[in-house]
Structure 1
Amino acid sequence: MLKSIDRSTERGKRDYALFALMLNTGARVQEILDLRLCDIRTDPPHQIRLRGKGDKTRLCPIWPQTARLLQELSNSAAHSGGRDAPLFVNRQGSKLTRFGVRYLLKKHITAGANATRTLQQKRIHPHSLRHTTAIFLLKAGVDFATISQWLGHSSLNTTMTYARADIDLKRQALMQVFPEILAPPRAGHVSSAAINIVDWLKRL
């Protein structure tokens, strides 16, 4: 999806930075939209200050590449309101809205689907990017407590939702790898191999 964004234009640079930051941080859409220029640190250590639910703030690290994107964005002509100005603005210089983010995501997903067939079959919304970040962190071996703090969860139970989603993906992958073994038995016969694998999948 990011590859479909034309970064030669100011709006393209904004959109690329927006979605790259959402994937980097896994932040909620409103947390991203509430960012001000004073909330980003583009010098090491690269990080942003997010305001989550209950007006709680947290620091979230960002990649050097993301920091460069935000630095370019903050230096653009669109930002002339000082350090308290919103980071992501529309054509009129006002803060982007949740509706605007959904529109931009749909626009770039549609453009990307022309080149990537897998995108044509997926229903992607802004929260999907948060979900993707959580799964990436989980696959990288990051512990639940850190992921919970990263995403701004008030409870580890919420973070466990992503763990269950990752397990479901593994089950689906294994079902594709062993289609014959896992297929419904014929003529009432159930092989011991099928029973063992299905039981193992259920215990994942």
Structure 2
Amino acid sequence: MSNTQLVEAIYDFAEHQRLVLGRSEATIKGYTSDLLDLAKTIDSFSSFTLPRLRNWLAAAVAEGKARSTLARRTASAKAFSTWAVKQGYLRTDEAAKLSSPKVPKHLPKVLDPKEASAAMDNAKSADELHLVRDTAMLELLYATGMRVSELTGIDLHDIDSSRQTIRVLGKGNKERIVPFGDAANTALNAWLARREELAKDPDALFVGTRGKRIDQRQVRRVVEAAGEVSPHALRHSTATHLLEGGADLRVVQELLGHSSLQTTQVYTHVTSERLKKVFNQAHPRA
């Protein structure tokens, strides 16, 4: 099988990830980039062997690639190999025996509650109408811990104002219902009262300057300007503040849309670190 056929298979695999498994575009882009790089070394499925795969990863090590990059490349090769067996391209799952390098876990950066509260009132908007919109986006992100991609996908009919809940479409096209509090509700109602002044899209909750559904880059700019943190850090802050306030871990898992409780458990380490910091600052014999 030629290199052209291998490359075509890589793009077919990407479509499978997108349409069948519902992977995020970021994941698909990462897998595709890794596999196209692999195709420069392995020119056909007959060359797709464990030793060749190990040589490809060893070359990345020699280039000084980060452990996180090596881990992602390993995951890309494994996922593609498993898919290729099912498609009949490979007889055996050649990448199954690859071992993933351990990536050190970094505790996520979080705002303290005062910093988060200040960020909600600190939108750097061009005018009053955009300020109303941006404040609603900030309050909703902090109230729910939802991802930016989830926020931009919300339609007007997803909102239940009487119950103060929103239907969110998360990773893998999984739906969940998330609640939001009074501060977010007030900001959201203020935006809804003025939305028609900007909106041309009949469905999208949040729209950009041209009236169409707002894109993720615009939302990221709003968050970064208001709190000097990424939207992901704001999401981390929501989870941490909930746990510090006594929320059950499984409730936080459901709210954030994590498929595994293990993913949510990283926040217990964050709260422990914050607790130790406060202890060391406050206790006379710390």
Aligned partner letter, 1:42: S
Q: CA deviation at 1:89?
A: 1.2
Q: How far apart in 2 are the matches of 1:54 and 1:99?
A: 21
User: Which of 149, 152, 172 matches 2:254?
Assistant: 149
Pair 1:107-2:212 in alignment: no
Which stretch of structure 1 is more off in the superposition, 126-135 or 168-177? 168-177
Tell me the residue number matched to 1:96: 214
Q: CA deviation at 1:142?
A: 1.2
Normalising by structure 2, we get a TM-score of 0.53
Pair 1:69-2:174 in alignment: no
**Equivalence map 1:115-134=2 (5 Å):** 124-134=229-239
Aligned partner letter, 2:270: A
SS in 2 for 1:88: coil
Tell me the residue number matched to 1:136: 241
Unaligned runs of 5+ in 2: 1-118
Two-structure CA RMSD over aligned residues (Å): 2.1
Q: CA deviation at 1:139?
A: 1.3
Q: How far apart in 1 are the matches of 2:279 and 2:192?
A: 46
Which stretch of structure 1 is more off in the superposition, 96-105 or 11-20? 96-105
Q: How far apart in 2 are the matches of 1:65 and 1:2?
A: 10
Q: Say how many residue pairs are matched.
A: 165
Tell me the residue number matched to 1:34: 153
Tell me the residue number matched to 2:120: 2
Q: CA deviation at 1:69?
A: 2.3
Pair 1:177-2:259 in alignment: no
Tell me the residue number matched to 2:134: 15
Q: CA deviation at 1:50?
A: 0.4
Aligned partner letter, 1:23: Y
**Relative contact order, higher structure (CA 8 A, sep 6+):** 1
SS in 1 for 2:211: coil
User: Which of 199, 204, 216 matches 1:79?
Assistant: 199
Normalising by structure 1, we get a TM-score of 0.73
Identity, % of aligned positions: 30
Unaligned runs of 5+ in 1: 110-122, 183-204
Q: CA deviation at 1:161?
A: 0.5
